[in-house]
Amino acid sequence: MGVITKKIKGTEDVLPKQSYRWQFVENIMREEAAKFGFKELRTPVFEHTELFARGVGDTTDVVQKEMYTFDTKGGESVTLRPEGTAGAARALLEHSLTNEGLPIKAYYLTSCYRYEKPQAGRLREFHQFGIEEYGTSSPLADAEVISLADSIFKRLQIENLHLEINSIGCPECRPNFHKALKEYFSEYKDELCGTCLTRLDKNPMRILDCKSPVCSKIAEGAPKITDFLCEECRDHFAQVQNYLRIAGIDFKVNPTIVRGLDYYTKTVFEFVSDAIGSQGTVCGGGRYDGLIEQLGGQHLPSLGYAMGIERLLMVMDNQGIEIPAPAPCAIYIAGLGDNAQTKAFELIQAVRSCGLSAETDVVGRGLRAQMKYADKIGAQFSMVIGDNELDENKAKVKNMTTGEQTELPLDESFAEQFRALHMAAEFAD
C-alpha cells in the first residue's frame, strides 16, 4: 500500500541526514546575535489577520495575494505568519517590553508562510533568522544591525555577497515622492498590470517592487527617492554610510530598493548573491519607525531584517562551503544474550554521561548484522560482550579505523578509560 499522502507543494522536509547543516547555521546565528546583545523571541505561528493587514500593508503583494488566511470555528480570521516583524511588534506591545529599558534587542528563528509559485529559493513554507531592535533612531543602530548580518556571513565563509542600501524617506518627504511617482506612472496606465493600477492611487511606491517584467521595465525610468529626501533623512542616510565605512563594510547605494512591505522608513538594505539566480536576496531589512504606532502603540523607532535560511544554504552549496558533519558514534557495543545486552546498555549509559555518543542494538540483530550497522553509522570504536567477557569482567575495544584493540575492564571505570582512549585516538588523527 502506498503512503496516504505526500508533502504539500511548496514545502520541504529536512531529513535527519540534512538537519545538522541547519543546526550549524542556526547556532552561528544565535552566537553572533548574542555577541551584539540580542535575545531570542518566539511568537505564535498564526495571528489575527488584522495584524498583518495593518502592519505589513494592505497594498503589498504579501497581503493582497500571498497570505494563508482562514476562519476559526469561533469565527475569527487568522493568518499563518508571512513574516516575523509584525508578530514581534505585537509581542512587544502586548507584554510592555519597553518597561525593561531601551533598546529592546530580539532575534527569532522561525517558519513563515506565503502562497506563491514555488521555485528555487522561494517556498510556501520557508525559514528566517530575524533581528528586531526597538527604541532607537540612531543611524549607528542601522549600521550595527547590518554589521551583525555581515558578521554571520563572514562566520559562514560566504563570499561575493553585495550589500545594497537606500533611504526611502519618512512621512515628511515621501508625499512629494509619491506625487512624482503617480505623475510618472500615470503616463503608462495602459501598460501597467492590474495590481499596479490599484496601487497607483493608494501607494505608487509599491509599483517599484512589482515582479511583472513590463512594470519592472517601466519602473527603471521612475523618479528616485534619493532626490526627494528631506534634510533629516539625507543626514541620517549619510551617517549610516559613514558608520558602515568605519566598520569596513563595502556597500552600494541602490535608489531602486524599496522592500516589499509598507512599514519601512528611511534606511532599507539587501545582501544579494549572484550564485542563486533571480532569487538572489538572502537578507533584507531596514528601519520601520512608524510600525508600532500603526499597531496602536506610541511612537517607537524600530529596525531589523530577515535572513532566508534556505537561500543561505543554497549559496553555501553553490560556493562549495563545507559544513562540518556531526561527531560520529564514539562506540558501538554489541551484546550477545540477555545478560550481555543488559551490560551493554549499562555501559553506553555511562559513556553518554561522559559526553560521548554510544549505541547498542535495540532491534534484535545478530552479531554480524550489528557490526554492519556499526560500520554504517560510522562508529569510531566497537566492542562485543558475550558470556566470556562477562565472566572475565573485561572486553576488547576495537578502533574501527586502525583495527587496533585495547582491553578495558567492564566496571565503573570503563567510561573514563574509554574516554581517555577516544581522546588519544582523536589527538593522533
Residues 287 and 351 in one domain: no
First to last CA, the chain: 48
Centre a 10 Å sphere on the Cβ of residue 378 and count the other Cβ atoms it contains.
12
Q: Are residues 67 and 168 part of one domain?
A: yes
* Chain centre to alpha carbon of residue 13: 16
Of the candidate ranges 102-116, 192-206, 412-426, the one whose mean pLDDT is the lowest: 192-206
Residue-wise pLDDT tens digits, 299-336: 999 999 999 999 999 999 999 999 999 999 999 999 99
Tens digits of per-residue pLDDT, 142-174?
999 999 999 999 999 999 999 999 999 998 998
Task: Name the residue with higher pLDDT: 383 or 198.
Answer: 383
- Per-residue pLDDT tens over the stretch 85-136: 999 999 999 999 999 999 999 999 999 999 988 887 789 999 999 999 999 9
CA distances in angstroms from 298 to 92, 98, 267, 294, listed in the order given = 12, 11, 21, 9
Which has the minimum average pLDDT: 137-141, 204-208, 311-315, 357-361?
204-208
Q: 277 and 393 in one domain?
A: no
Q: Are residues 251 and 344 in the same domain?
A: no
What CATH number is given to the structural domain containing 166?
Answer: 3.30.930.10
Is position 209 within any domain? no
The answer, as to whether pTM is greater than 0.75, is yes
Q: Which of 271, 297, 318 is the last residue of a domain?
A: 318
Q: Would residue 63 count as lying in a domain? A: yes
Judgement on whether residues 350 and 417 belong to the same structural domain of the protein: yes
Chain position carrying cell 566492542: 383
Contact 271, 149 (CB under 8 A): yes
Grid cell in block for residue 80: 499563518
| Number of neighbours of residue 373 by Cβ within 10 angstroms | 17
Q: What is the pLDDT of residue 421?
A: 97
Grid coordinates representing 250 are 563595502
pLDDT > 90? residue 59 = no
Query: What is d(CA 113, CA 357) in angstroms, rounded to the nearest whole number?
Result: 36
207: nearest Cα among 230, 226, 188, 228: 188
pLDDT band at 277 (very low <50, low <70, confident <90, very high): low
Q: Taking Cα atoms as reference points, which of 180, 163, 167 lies closest to residue 283?
A: 163
Q: Which of 257, 289, 318 is the last residue of a domain?
A: 318
Model pLDDT, residue 118: 87
Decide if 416 is inside a domain: yes
pLDDT band at 58, cuts 50/70/90? low
Q: Is the pLDDT of residue 60 over 80?
A: no
Euclidean distance between CA atoms 318 and 46, whole angstroms: 34
Contact residues for 185 (Cβ-Cβ < 8 A; gap 6+): 192, 196, 200, 204, 207, 218, 222
Residues 244 and 388 occupy one common structural domain: no
- 278 lies in a domain? yes
Residue 142 neighbours by CB under 8 Å, 6+ apart? 236, 240, 243, 266, 267, 286, 287, 303
What's the rounded mean pLDDT across residues 251-255?
A: 93
For position 380, what pLDDT does the model report? 97
Whether 276 has a pLDDT exceeding 90, the answer reads no
pLDDT category at 74 given cuts 50, 70, 90 is very high
Q: What is the pLDDT of residue 30?
A: 98
Please report the pLDDT score of residue 262 as a whole number: 66
The answer to whether position 8 is within a domain reads no
∠114-294-285 over CA atoms, to 5°?
50
Q: Is residue 2 part of a domain?
A: no
Residues 35 and 80 in one domain: yes
Question: Does one domain contain both 53 and 131?
Answer: yes
Mean pLDDT of 266-270: 95
CB 177 within 8 A of CB 185: no
Indicate if the pLDDT at residue 56 is higher than 80: no
Peptide bond between residue 255 and the one before it cis (omega within 30 degrees of 0): no
Per-residue model confidence (pLDDT) at position 212: 87
**Are residues 41 and 94 located together in one domain of the fold?**
yes
Is residue 250 over pLDDT 80? yes
Has residue 204 been placed in a domain?
Answer: no
Among the residues of 56-163, which ranges form H helices? 61, 85-94, 139-155
Nearest to 344 by CA among 380, 395, 392, 378: 395
1: pLDDT strictly greater than 70: no
140 and 163 in a common domain: yes
Domain count for the chain, please give it: 2
Cell for 100? 525593561
Q: Mean pLDDT in the chain?
A: 93
Q: What is the DSSP letter of 62?
A: I
Q: Which residues contact residue 396 at a Cβ distance below 8 angstroms, ignoring those fewer than 6 apart?
A: 383, 384, 405, 406, 407, 408
Domain contains 186: no
Name the percent of the chain lying above pLDDT 70: 97
The CA–CA distances, whole Å, from 193 to 67, 172, 223 equal 20, 29, 19
Domain CATH code at residue 396: 3.40.50.800
Give the separation between CA 135 and CA 300, rounded to whole angstroms: 5
Find the domain containing 308 and state its range.
16-173+229-318
DSSP assignment string, 330-355: SEEEEE-SHHHHHHHHHHHHHHHHTT
Which of 172, 109, 176, 153 lies closest to 270 in space, CA to CA?
153
167 & 105 share domain? yes
Q: How far apart are CA 429 and CA 427, in angstroms?
A: 5
Statement to judge: residues 264 and 343 lie in one domain: no
pLDDT above 90: residue 298: yes
Average pLDDT value for residue range 166-194: 91
